[in-house]
Amino acid sequence: MTKLVQTLVDGLGVGSTYALLALGISLIFGVMHLVNFAHGELITVGAYVSYFFFLNGGSWWWMPVAIIASAALASVATEAVAFRWVRQASPFTMLLTSFAIERLSHALWQIFVSPKQRAFPKPAWVFDQFGLGGVSIEVMDVVTIGVTAATLAVTALVFSRTLFGISVRGAAEDFDAARLMGIRANRVISGAFAFAGLLAGVAACLILMRNPSAEPAMGADWLLKAVVAAVIGGLGSFTGAVVGGLALGLLETLTRAYLPDIATGWDRFSTAIVYIAIAAFFIIRPQGAFKVASAERV
């Protein structure tokens, strides 16, 4: 029982980070049908920003603001520099463009900073634990889940109550119709990138508090998981991204924790089994868990 609770808390912790990233990917896909493989680089941006600030006497009290702001700025910048110019191109071209940016980001951090990992201090309380009904829980787990829940609540509010949020949802459903209603394409798309950047910034804070270091290719693994989560949920679906992220996090931690009990000797294949499960899911439900109505006319 203790183990189960512990595993679930871990799973939700990892999963909520995936969810925040997946939400950004899904949001951008919604407005311009781009699967943004450069999205993970926003974490890297946040990491290097923290590293530079800590070199000059930074503090975790205000670092999250710097991380989130830099991620949002970087996100908007990639749109203005690259994605805006391929907006009319095929999804394939856009996806490869995002790949190119990801590669360039890896290379530039290596050239201008260092190929090696750069560490900076972590918040003092991160690995503190407290007991709750016989289960010992890390402070960081609570922070992760709490911050994610709050962020998601704000996101839900933005997309249901603000003009910006409604414009973005409208654009996601039918971009041409949204434009006819007087919504400005550039502004909606920039806004979506900014918001996706904010979400990635929050995710970056959670990741960096646990593992305070910067490395050129650190975003790649997170990105892949987040893309998988977003597609599992159904690209373009906000609920789907959250559910997909949490499901992926839980699936990972549960297989790692319980597979050895079920089949001895198979624990070394736990990651492989997670991916087999994912492949099986896509075979059964190619459109993801939450199907998104597309406005394509015949």
| x/- track of binding to another protein for residues 202-241 (CB under 8 A) | --------------xx------x--xx--x---x------
Residues within window 83-142 making contact with another protein, judged by CB under 8 A: 85-86, 89-90, 92-93, 95-97, 99-108, 110-111, 115
Query: Is 263 an interacting residue with respect to another protein (CB under 8 A)?
Result: no
Nearest approach in angstroms of CB 225 to another protein is 11
Residue 202 and residue 68 in contact, taking contact as beta carbons nearer than 8 Å: yes
Phi, psi of 279, rounded to the nearest 5 degrees:
-60, -45
What would the two tokens of residue 49 be?
A: 């920003």
Query: Is 289 an interacting residue with respect to another protein (CB under 8 A)?
Result: no
Query: Is 82 an interacting residue with respect to another protein (CB under 8 A)?
Result: yes
Q: Which is nearer to another protein, 163 or 283 (CB)?
A: 283
d(CA 246, CA 249): 5
- Return the half-sphere exposure (C-beta side, CA atoms, 13 A cut-off) of residue 104: 11
Nearest approach in angstroms of CB 117 to another protein is 13
Q: Which is nearer to another protein, 69 or 96 (CB)?
A: 96
Q: Of 50-58, 195-203, 207-215, 267-275, which segment contacts another protein by CB under 8 A? A: 267-275
CA angle 218, 22, 239 (to 5 degrees): 165
- 3-state class of 142 per DSSP? helix
Q: Of 66-74, 154-162, 173-181, 265-273, which segment contacts another protein by CB under 8 A? A: 265-273
Q: Are strands 129-132 and 118-119 parallel, antiparallel or unpaired?
A: unpaired
d(CA 50, CA 206): 13
CA-closest candidate to residue 168, choices 72, 293, 27, 35: 27
Q: Which is nearer to another protein, 110 or 239 (CB)?
A: 110
Query: Is 6 an interacting residue with respect to another protein (CB under 8 A)?
Result: no
Residue 219 and residue 104 in contact, taking contact as beta carbons nearer than 8 Å: no
Query: Is 272 an interacting residue with respect to another protein (CB under 8 A)?
Result: yes
Nearest approach in angstroms of CB 90 to another protein is 7
CA angle 67, 215, 257 (to 5 degrees): 90
H helices present in 236-285, as ranges: 238-262, 270-284
Nearest approach in angstroms of CB 282 to another protein is 5
Q: Which is nearer to another protein, 139 or 217 (CB)?
A: 217
Size of the site for another protein (CB under 8 A): 45
- 3-state class of 284 per DSSP? helix
Q: Which is nearer to another protein, 64 or 233 (CB)?
A: 233
d(CA 69, CA 284): 40
Residues within window 243-262 making contact with another protein, judged by CB under 8 A: none
- Return the half-sphere exposure (C-beta side, CA atoms, 13 A cut-off) of residue 271: 2
CA angle 16, 277, 140 (to 5 degrees): 20
Q: Summarize as ranges the residues that interact with another protein (CB under 8 A).
A: 35, 82, 85-86, 89-90, 92-93, 95-97, 99-108, 110-111, 115, 216-217, 224, 227-228, 231, 235, 268-269, 271-272, 275-276, 278-279, 282-283, 286-287, 297-298
